[in-house]
Amino acid sequence: MKVKFFSKFLVAAASMIFGSSVVLAASGGMDVPTIKAKAVMTGLENPWDMAFSGGDMFYTEKCKGLSVRTKSGKTHALYGMKGSSGYADTGKDLFCEGQAGMLGVALDRDFASNRTLYLYSTSNKYHGSGCKTNFEKCDGNIVMKFKVAKNMKSVSARTDIVKDIQYKPFKSDQPFGGPGAHNGGRIRVGPGGYLWIGTGDRHRGICPQDNSLLCGVVLRVDGDGNAHPENDAPKADKRIYTYGHRNVQGIDFRPSDGRAFTAEHGPWHNDEVTALVNGGNGGWDPAEKRAGRSACPDKYCGYEPNQKDGMIPAIRAAYTPMSDTRFSDLMTPAWNNNGYSQGTGSAAFLKGDNWGIYEGRLAAGIMGIAFGGTPGGLRIDMYDIEADGLSIKSVVHMPLGMEKRFRGLVMGPNNALYASTDEGEIYKITAK
């Protein structure tokens, strides 16, 4: 590959930020690509996720619905939420609230022949007798399966394959404590064609360490919602691959070995990137009256003592760590920022030799909380992860020349990275 540089006189620059080496530029003589970002869609309403079949891009808007932008540039609104307009069909049980709504989208590995699409959304269809308080089991998120018409203008044959992912129904006395908090929502197709589904702890303290509940977990299921036969979480719902998570926002699979990695943001401290281990524990335990904690607002200690001013990250992390070493089955994160959370979210491994020295690195959107003394982010970082998945070599800021809340990342055609933003755009990011 021809070597290209960001400028004629590129100079290496590095600094120590939050305990991790962050390289701002690469030194001369390396295969450093020129990276450019171009907006392919604008004026959207909270675009959340994308999935590709050739040049056709399916995308979700959190409070509107599922659409597709065909390779010809035409857009078709396929499946909307209750109250939406202009869609070929709507789900009257689907709703948007807080962090919840129509979120992850993925295509079956055999989409070209079976036309099967998967979609994650909030639904009131399976509430049953629950969801009356924040302390009850609330079946409020689902994964649906559809058939996409060959003309790309409609979907049909909706089948709800996972019906009991948990949801937070009421506001509570917590930062960011509204309904729909910590709602997860990322879905990806992994090795063997199985679906991987990331969920959030929905601000219920017992969730991450209670293996009977689908909250704070990663699921691995087939296209009908059945558990992978080798899932091995202890005393768990058989659909659970890993548990003890806070709010999984990024899932992808390392090209070299197919290993699953997640990205999630912490409670004002210690964002994490983690190599998953079958049956492993993410180590998040925000329940009250455990590990020396007393009563907490709404029985959820995930933000205590963050509600108190002047608390430095190390003290916060000691009180409610993201990865609690009390657990013998703890999955050691490959990376944590050892400081203030900056909203590490969606993630995708960079594929293709056009990415030069960055090929094989994990790209993650940094949404930039900038709240309560937290430094802002608004960037994409690239992690060079060690082969064992237990540490990283470096973190590199992707030189995009702009600051955005990057909500969704996915690899698309011709080894381009596509990124959706809370500002209503979808960018095509290329490397040459």
The one-digit pLDDT tens for each residue of the chain (432 residues) are 333 333 322 223 333 333 344 544 444 457 999 999 999 999 999 999 999 999 999 999 999 999 999 999 999 999 999 999 999 999 999 999 999 999 999 999 999 999 999 999 999 999 998 999 999 999 999 999 999 999 999 999 999 999 999 999 999 988 889 999 999 999 999 999 999 999 999 999 999 999 999 999 999 999 999 999 999 999 999 999 999 999 999 999 999 999 999 999 998 889 999 999 999 999 999 999 988 888 988 999 998 766 555 567 788 888 889 999 999 999 999 999 888 889 999 999 999 999 999 999 999 999 987 776 777 889 999 999 999 999 999 999 999 999 999 999 999 999 999 999 999 999 999 999
Looking at residue 311, its pLDDT comes to: 67
Q: Which CATH architecture has domain 13-431?
A: 6 Propeller (2.120)
In degrees and rounded to multiples of 5, residue 400 shows phi and psi of -100, -20
pLDDT of residue 20: 44
301 vs 66: CA distance, rounded Å? 35
Structure tokens at 35: 């990276």
**pLDDT at residue 305, as a whole number:** 66
According to the model, what pLDDT value does residue 309 have? 58
Per domain, the residue ranges of the chain are 13-431
* CB-CB contact of 1 with 353 (8 Å): yes
How far CA 61 is from CA of 84, 101, 121, 138, 343, in Å, comes to 11, 8, 11, 24, 20
Q: How many residues does the chain have?
A: 432
pLDDT at 110: 98
pLDDT reported for residue 175: 81
pLDDT at residue number 154: 98
